[in-house]
Amino acid sequence: MCIRPDRAHHCSECNTCVLRRDHHCAVMNSCIHQDNTKAYLLHLFYGSLYTSLAFISDFKFTYFDIPEDRGHFWFAGSFAYFTCMQLSTWLWIIYVCLIPRNLMLRDKWNRSCPYGNLGWRGNLRRIFGSNPFLWLIPTRGIYEYKED
């Protein structure tokens, strides 16, 4: 019989057990857990940034540069970009609000109490690493655990 650590969950898609598992992401083809939360958040951040820029440029092109006889589907590209922008931005904001409290979506849904809460600064360092200048760069978030 094995003793399961707190916040460890089994993923049936990956067939592995991971710590701080949030969900299995089909886009990244892996579980979102404590080791790749930063990569997932940066994926959402840069995805929302890209789709925002794509929406602005596509909307400008279709609204101002195409002649008046645009047809019925002139807004389809802008609508698709806008929808993706809203979804990725919404998910990113949710996670940015949960991380300082040391929660993942699974914890929020299950209303379980946070384990190992280091305070909002410590929780951000745990995910993004100790150097704030590297937080928006896709590097591995390495946190040095120090006794205070």
**Residues recognised as catalytic:** 25
Collapsed DSSP state (helix, strand, coil) of residue 118? coil
Phi, psi angles (nearest 5°) of residue 58: -70, -40
Instruction: Please list, in sequence order, all residues whose beta carbon lies within 8 angstroms of the beta carbon of residue 51, skipping any fewer than 6 positions away.
Output: 81, 82, 84, 85, 88
User: Is 40 strand, coil or helix?
Assistant: helix
d(CA 52, CA 81): 7
- Taking the C-alpha atoms of residue 23 and residue 87, their distance in angstroms, rounded to an integer, is 16
- The Cα angle at residue 17 between residues 103 and 46, in degrees rounded to 5: 50
Q: Is 58:78 a contact under the CB 8 Å cutoff? A: yes
